[in-house]
Homo-oligomer: A and B are copies of this chain.
Amino acid sequence: MNFSSDNAYGVAPEILEALQEANLGAAGGYGDDELTARLQTEMSRVFERDVIAFPVVTGTAANALALGTLVPPHGAIFCHSEAHIAVDECGAPAFFTHGARLAPIKGGGGKLDPCSVEEEISRFGKGVVHHSQPAAISITEATEFGTCYRVREIEALAALAKRHGLKLHMDGARFANAIAYLGCTPADATWRAGVDVLSFGATKNGALGADAVVFFHQEDTRDFEYRRKKSGHLISKMRFVSAQLVCALEEGRWLARAAHANALARLLAGELAGTAGVEVAHAVEANSVFAYLPDETIVRLRARGARFYDWGQSSGGRTLVRLVTSFATCETDIERFVAVVRPELVKSGRGA
C-alpha cells in the first residue's frame, strides 16, 4: 500500500532486461552509441516528426536544461503556482537560466488559465529595461493535481505564447499518463498544439532513471549540449539511459504502463467517492487521487502500513491527502486500502 509517489516502486522488469541487453560489447561514450541513435528514431516515430531528444536522469534536470536553453538570465517564466518547477526544484530553473524569474500564477485544478497568464504577462513591461522580460510559459501535463490539459487548452496557451513571443515548455514528468487519458496522439498534445520543448518523463513510469528533453525545433537546441555537459548531466555510459527510453517507447509500453496506473487511480477514486466523510478533490484523470480523508481514517491507514503524503493541514477533522498509483500498483493494493477506509465493507478473508 505505497501510494506516496510514482517513484516508490522500482523498475519495470522489461527495463532491467533492456539494461542487460545494452551491456553487450563496447560502445562509444557520451551518446555516441547505437541506442542513443535509436532513441532519436523512436522519439521521431512517436511524435510523427523529426525531434531532437537528449536523455538525462532526472526530471528536474530535464526541466531546468530546457528552460536554461530557451530563457535568458533577464527573462521571466510564467507557470502555475503549484508547478514542480516553482515549488519542488529548489530553484533549479534560476540556476540553469542564470537568474531568470519565475512568475507563479494561481489556477483551478493545477491548470493555467490563458486570461490569468495574459494579465500577468502584461504586468511585465515588454522592452522596459527595469523589468524581467517575458520569455516562456511552462505547463505541466499531467498537472501536479492529476488533471490533464485538453489539446484545445494547450493550443490556447500556445497561441498566447506566440502572440507575446514566448516559448512554450511542457513538463511531462507524467506525460504518458496524460496521453493515456486523453487518447490523442503525442504530436497533437505537443508540437501540433504549439509546444516548443517537452520534458519527457520515463522515471515515474517504470524506468530506473531516464527522462528526455525533446525539442521540436532544431534551432532551439543551440547551446543545449554545452549546458548539459557543464551541469554534469552528460552521462558517459549514455546507452544505458537511452536503452530505458527506447524500451519504454517500443511497442507502446510507456502508454500501457501509464494506462494501468490511471485505471487504478480511477478505481481508487471511485471507491473513495462513494464513502461517507470522504471527498475527492480534483478530477481524477491521470494517476493521482487527491482526497479529503477523516483524520481518524488517516491514522488507521498509516497504522496498517499505508504510505501517502498529506497535502495540506488538517481542518474540520479532515486532511487533504495525495494518493499516487504507478505501473506497479495492483488491484489488491487498492482493495486493501479501501478496506481500511471502509472497514464495514470488508468481507472475511480480505483487508490488510
Q: Could you list which residues of chain A lie within 8 angstroms of chain B, going by C-beta atoms? A: 2, 4-5, 7-11, 16, 19-20, 22-30, 56-62, 64-65, 72-74, 87-92, 94-96, 98-102, 123, 129-133, 203-204, 208-209, 223, 225-237, 239-241, 307, 328
Contact = CB atoms under 8 A, between A and B. Distances in A.
A61 B58 CA distance: 13
A236 B11 CA distance: 12
A216 B351 CA distance: 48
A203 B319 CA distance: 44
A95 B96 CA distance: 9
Nearest to A130: B88
A62 B231 CA distance: 11
B230 A73 contact: yes
A70 to B, nearest CB: 14
Given A91-B101, A94-B101, 20 more contacts: A10-B23, A10-B24, A10-B26, A11-B19, A16-B20, A56-B232, A61-B232, A62-B232, A73-B95, A90-B129, A90-B130, A91-B230, A92-B230, A99-B99, A129-B234, A203-B237, A208-B237, A208-B240, A209-B209, A232-B233
A92 B236 contact: no
Count copies of this chain in the complex.
Answer: 4
Contacts of A237: 7, 10-11, 203, 208-209
Contact of A91 (B20, B87, B89, B132): B132
A57 B132 contact: no
A72 to B, nearest CB: 6
Nearest to A8: B26
A334 B235 CA distance: 28
Contact of A240 (B11, B100, B232): B11
9 contacts: A4-B29, A5-B236, A7-B29, A11-B240, A90-B132, A90-B133, A129-B234, A209-B240, A209-B241
Contacts of A5: 29, 236
